[in-house]
Chains A and B, each alone.
Chain A
Amino acid sequence: MSSSDPLVKFENVQKSYDGEILVVKDFNLDVAQGEFVTMLGPSGSGKTTCLMMLAGFEPTTNGTIYLKNKPINNVPPHKRGIGMVFQNYALFPHMTVAENLAFPLEVRKMGKSEREAKVNRALEMVQLGDFGNRRPMQLSGGQQQRVAVARSLVFDPDLVLMDEPLGALDKNLREQMQYEIKHLHEELGLTVVYVTHDQTEALTMSNRIAVFDDGVVQQCASPEDLYEKPENAFVANFIGENNRLMGSVESIDGDKATVKTDSGDIVIASKVNVNKAGDRATLSLRPERIMVSPAKGKTPNTYSAKVEELIYHGDHIRTRFSVCGHDDFIVKIPNSIDNVGLQEGKEVNIGWMMEDCLALDG
């Protein structure tokens, strides 16, 4: 296997449980060695099914999955050598933490001393050196989580799968564990395929994110690209906060699309996912990219807007405007000296650059 070949390759994978509905429609994905790829999507979008097919618990209905260039469709799960962290950790309650960690080594017939050394190293790695003799039930949620991670790594698998591993933790712990897993990935050079429905988690941890909806990958790109350059309205809406203006395309000129909103306003936007004049379009605008009272001529799009609501958020003030026939237009205004004059009911001008306004499918 040459270094440029992907470690995992999904090729035209389809999956159906009942022969009537395709849960995964046509899944193609390459995961390179050392990459952290997240499958992100709402529940029921097919992301966990893809992970289960990779782990070997669900057969593919059609298509092939390759691991190190070898098709693994017919390899049973216990011969795939893939580590996995389950949603509820699946730590064996009748074994101690150390026994849990030793289990994969024991079934690989590793000698006792070597086994112990590896278990201890894995426990040290997740800062649980003294917890070997405890039972999983005696540990806190975060500690159990770490044990589960350690167990999935202790036998040095080529690939680690994580199925919403942080779902059961509270917010602070979840954030802390995100960094810990990310650091483990970087330090050990792991290849990780991660499943979550939490977009912040995906953005924080991943090299690449595959956004799933309705059994199809809507976009697979780096976190920056997903946020800055979403390819369609679903991705724009799913990743981060987003204002949407509906309208139809008036004209297209290179990168520039002129869109007439349903309220009759003309908006100059970047052409992303619209093809010709007359198409329905969704204009996507990030709340932090909107300027309040911009200098005249600075923005190609400037509209008069009415302040509907001000919500104090400390570092920024979340302001709801009514503009272009849309009364739920959110703008994040930094809490700086320049921006304190807004009051509810006041009329102001707001505007945005062409690059910050994406014309997507309608």
Chain B
Amino acid sequence: MSDTRTLDAKGQLLTNDGVPLKESLRKSLRRTKIRSFLLLLAPLLFLLIMFVGPIGSLLSRSVDDMEINRVLPETFAQYELWEDKSILPSEEMFAAVVNDIRATHKLEDSEGNNIGKNLLGKAGTRMTYEYSGWRSLLLKTVKSATKVNKRSKEEVKPYTWEAPYKEKMIKRDKRWGKVEFWQSLGAMKDPYTIGYYLNAVDLRFDANKNVIQKPEHLKIYKTIWMRTLQVSLMVTIFCLILAYPVSYLLATLPMRTSNLLMICVLMPFWTSLLVRIVAWMIMLQQNGVVNDTLVGILPCFEGMVNLPFFGEKNIDLCFSDEDRIPMMYNFTGTIIVMTQVLLPFMILPIYSVMRGIPPSYMKAAQNLGATPTRAFVRVYMPQSIPGIGAGCILVFIVAIGYYITPELVGGKDGLMIGNFVAREMQKTLNWGLAAAMGAILLAAVLILYWAYDRLIGIDNLKMG
């Protein structure tokens, strides 16, 4: 057969009309490409606005330190010149603080309303994160530094305080004489900071901006992180243990029966989370159904018994009111309720993978001589791994950021990092810290995802 292809000077393939083949192909595909892009535009925008935007703002807030830099520019400039940071800074630095306060105090927005006082308040809050006491110190000083001489005849009334300021300030509040306050400025002087992240893992900057451990009595988050990890892992494992046999049953039963059972699995999904949690409270609290039942039905036996191998033993088998098990408002409560709440997330992917495993594999394995148990372990289980992986990842990811359940049933030792994020958002208003915690959670989830991809392969993940 002769070669009927036509080539141009550059050796490119041409169509019958003499147009390069590649260009012709591109033209013929262009319309399809444009159309598919337009179709994708709406979800893309949605993704951008609803997903990329908030996460971006979360990440930027967790490192943003601009505001304090706008309030205290001169102070931070002087801080750079402060040589021996173990002794109090010189008069210039004290003067810089007063100048910054006065400059900020006068600031107005475009409509002529004063925003300076508000900014100074915020700055005080920000400074307190680095060293407690800053807020009251700053606001006290603002009052004195901005007081004007009302009797003056001049058009712009002069401030009552005049340079030098060092002694006046220390006299006004002796905390100005403490070098620790001045040192803590170092952590705030850059427009971007990793201070929130350090804070979230119980670290902080020292005067020379080295990362150091927080003093023991201020360390709170490390235990919370560890507990969050522990709760998530335990909930994932318990969910797996409970979900695997249930999914197997659902997958092997005839469709009719399994659909009926599936409704039972999904029923909690359709019930309000709060209702479920309250139901658990009724079940598990100190005078709840479970404890009452245990006290009521367990036999009471006390006395000496002659046991084989152990000899004479004093046996006390009494379950009285003092023995009631604390299962609510603590770690145990969090684990129990979260396991129940997240169970469907484990069952659904495992079930869907198991449904796809043809029964002939088990038959083949037995036909080849494997006992049913062995066939299950060697042939069935490895094929259900994509479901197990998906279920575990799903449950772990949801669990690690869980908030409402620990809040309601966690008591003191069942709280997780989600509760602290909420606390920073709502109570202390330290959004930077909350954002940093959120970002760490996000990173943990991404690392987990990456590790799963490396170990098992993400295309081996079947959500349903």
Contacts and interface: CB of A to CB of B under 8 A. Distances in A.
A301 interface: no
A107 B360 CA distance: 18
Interface in B335-388: 358, 360-361, 363-372, 374-375, 378-379, 382-383
Given A78-B372, A90-B358, A84 B367 contact: yes
B255 to A, nearest CB: 16
Nearest to B361: A90
Contacts of A151: 368
Given A92-B379, A103-B378, A84 B364 contact: yes
A143 interface: no
Contacts of A55: 363, 367
B369 A107 contact: yes
* Main secondary structure on A side of the interface with B: loop
A99 to B, nearest CB: 10
A57 interface: yes
Contacts of B375: 78
Contact of A90 (B363, B374, B378, B382): B363
Most B CB contacts (10 A, CB to CB) among A76, A78, A94 go to A78
A344 B115 CA distance: 106
Interface in A67-99: 76-84, 86-88, 90, 92-94
Given A92-B379, A94-B382, A94-B383, A108 B364 contact: no
A223 interface: no
A78 B363 contact: no
A86 B369 contact: no
Interface string A280-324: 000000000000000000000000000000000000000000000
Most B CB contacts (10 A, CB to CB) among A81, A83, A88, A92 go to A92
Contact of A77 (B360, B366, B382): B366
Contacts of A83: 367-368
Interface string A55-66: 111000000000
Contact of B360 (A56, A78, A86, A94): A86
Given A87-B360, A90-B360, A77 B383 contact: no
Contacts of A93: 383
Contacts of A84: 364, 367
A104 interface: yes
A125 B368 CA distance: 19
A80 B370 CA distance: 11
Nearest to A55: B367
A238 interface: no
Interface of A: 55-57, 76-84, 86-88, 90, 92-94, 103-104, 107-108, 151, 155
Interface in B377-418: 378-379, 382-383
B368 A86 contact: no
A86 B372 contact: no
Nearest first, the 10 closest Cβ-Cβ pairs linking A and B are A90-B364, A104-B368, A90-B360, A77-B366, A94-B382, A107-B370, A78-B366, A84-B367, A107-B369, A86-B360
A48 B369 CA distance: 21
Contacts of B379: 92
A14 to B, nearest CB: 22
Given A57-B366, A92-B364, 15 more contacts: A55-B367, A56-B367, A77-B363, A78-B366, A78-B369, A78-B371, A78-B372, A78-B375, A81-B369, A84-B364, A86-B364, A90-B360, A107-B368, A108-B369, A155-B368
Contacts of B363: 55, 57, 77, 86, 90
A156 B370 CA distance: 15
A20 B382 CA distance: 39
Contacts of A56: 366-367
Given A88-B360, A90-B358, A90-B360, A77 B378 contact: no
Contacts of A86: 360, 363-364
B367 A92 contact: no
A310 to B, nearest CB: 36
B382 to A, nearest CB: 4
Nearest to B374: A107
Most A CB contacts (10 A, CB to CB) among B365, B372, B383 go to B365
A94 B460 CA distance: 12
Most B CB contacts (10 A, CB to CB) among A56, A77, A88, A93 go to A77
A56 B372 CA distance: 13
A103 B365 contact: yes
B111 to A, nearest CB: 69
Nearest to A92: B379
B367 to A, nearest CB: 5
Most A CB contacts (10 A, CB to CB) among B361, B382, B383 go to B361
A155 B365 CA distance: 13
Contact of B369 (A57, A90, A92, A104): A104
A59 to B, nearest CB: 14
Contacts of B383: 92-94
Contacts of B366: 56-57, 76-78
Contacts of B382: 94
A77 B361 contact: no
A84 B382 CA distance: 22
Nearest to A52: B363
A79 B369 CA distance: 6
A103 B367 contact: no
Nearest to A91: B364
B179 to A, nearest CB: 66
A332 B372 CA distance: 55
Contacts of A78: 366-372, 375
Contacts of B370: 78, 103-104, 107
Nearest to B378: A103
Nearest to B362: A90
A155 B368 CA distance: 8
Contacts of A155: 368-369
A103 B364 CA distance: 11
A175 B443 CA distance: 58
Nearest to A78: B366
Contacts of A76: 366, 372
Contacts of A79: 369
A151 B366 CA distance: 13
Most A CB contacts (10 A, CB to CB) among B365, B369, B374, B375 go to B369
Nearest to B375: A78
24 contacts: A56-B366, A56-B367, A57-B363, A77-B366, A78-B371, A78-B375, A81-B369, A82-B367, A83-B368, A84-B364, A87-B360, A90-B361, A90-B363, A90-B364, A92-B364, A92-B383, A93-B383, A94-B383, A103-B365, A103-B368, A104-B370, A107-B369, A107-B370, A155-B369
B355 to A, nearest CB: 16
B249 to A, nearest CB: 20
A240 B196 CA distance: 84
B311 to A, nearest CB: 43
Most B CB contacts (10 A, CB to CB) among A56, A90, A104, A151 go to A90
B412 to A, nearest CB: 46
Contacts of B372: 76, 78
B257 to A, nearest CB: 16
A57 B362 CA distance: 10
A313 B378 CA distance: 53
Nearest to B381: A94
A151 B367 CA distance: 11
Nearest to B357: A93
